[in-house]
Amino acid sequence: MVSFFAQAQKWGYELGANYLYANPFGGMGKVIDRGHGANFVLGGVSPTQRFGLGVDIGYTQYDSEKSKQNYTLDDGTVAPMEMNVVSYFVNMTAYGRWYMTTSGVVRPYLVGRLGYAMFNTDLNIYDPDDNDHCEPVENDVLYNDGTIVGGLGVGAKFDMTALFRKLAPNTVYFESSVNMTQGGQVRYMDAEADHHQNANPRAVDHVMAQFVNTQTQVVHKHHVGYLYSNPVQMIELRFGFSWNVTR
């Protein structure tokens, strides 16, 4: 029992922050061209430096559409407002890593992930005279859906002490990886895609946002995008920095 707790206390931590490039394929790839975002990693490292376990959270934006619409304010005045429709997905997964080497300048590894992906589209209406966009006039979630996802990948960590001698060894790394993610069927929005290119056009729906004239109380609708349904399929490229605090 004492030996077990002594070993458990030797587990350390690894932190990571990466740029994330997502390239969907299959039916989803016919709608989403690419996505850009970031991911953050927090995990534990075994005493042997061979295994890592933790959580991986990523945000990727794949579509953004801006337009101007006349909007009636509460005081009855009509002003042109900037309508911004943003589509993105958030991955929240648990991961396991197997490091092929426990030390050295380059440490390649294999990684597996399992968790949940949420696809969201938000509508924000801004005052164009407010250059800081500090507060939207109106905001709403147009659509959201989610599904279970899993992935496999390969990557490598490069010890930055090879370039910066003053750093402590095995502490700061440049890291890069390639991952394939697949998941269940999910419904998601895209404002720019041509719905005739979708693998299953019958699954495409039009998405309309409602606007209310506060003076006349007349509700009118504006087309903001299309709704698609496909299984999650994508290749992800990541690169950034990680910190090992086990030593």
Distance CA 239, CA 243 (A): 13
Residue 93 burial (CB count, 10 A) = 21
Domain that holds residue 54: 12-244
- Looking from the CA of 223 toward its CB, the CA atoms found within 13 Å total 7
Q: Is there a domain that residue 168 lies in?
A: yes
For 160-198, what is each residue's pLDDT tens digit? 987 887 887 788 999 999 999 999 999 998 876 554 454
Q: Is there a domain that residue 6 lies in?
A: no
Q: Is there a domain that residue 80 lies in?
A: yes
pLDDT of residue 36: 97
The average pLDDT across 94-117 equals 95
Distance CA 91, CA 232 (A): 11
From residue 170, alpha-carbon distances to 47, 55, 115 in Å are 14, 21, 29
At residue 5 the predicted structure's pLDDT band, cuts being 50, 70 and 90, is very low
Number of domains in the chain: 1
Enter the pTM of the model: 0.78
Most confidently modeled range among 61-70, 80-89, 183-192: 183-192
Distance CA 188, CA 144 (A): 7
Q: Is there a domain that residue 3 lies in?
A: no
What is the chain's length?
Answer: 247
Spatial contact of 244 and 45, defined as CB atoms under 8 Å apart: yes
The average pLDDT across 97-124 equals 93
For 8-49, what is each residue's pLDDT tens digit? 568 888 999 999 999 999 999 988 989 999 999 999 999 888
End-to-end CA distance of the chain: 24
Q: Is there a domain that residue 185 lies in?
A: yes
From residue 163, alpha-carbon distances to 122, 160, 216, 238 in Å are 43, 6, 67, 21
Q: Is there a domain that residue 25 lies in?
A: yes
CATH number for 30: 2.40.160.20
Q: Is there a domain that residue 202 lies in?
A: yes
From residue 165, alpha-carbon distances to 146, 221, 241 in Å are 46, 62, 17
Q: Is there a domain that residue 92 lies in?
A: yes
Q: Which among 23, 27, 5, 82 is positioned nearest to 201, based on CA atoms?
A: 27
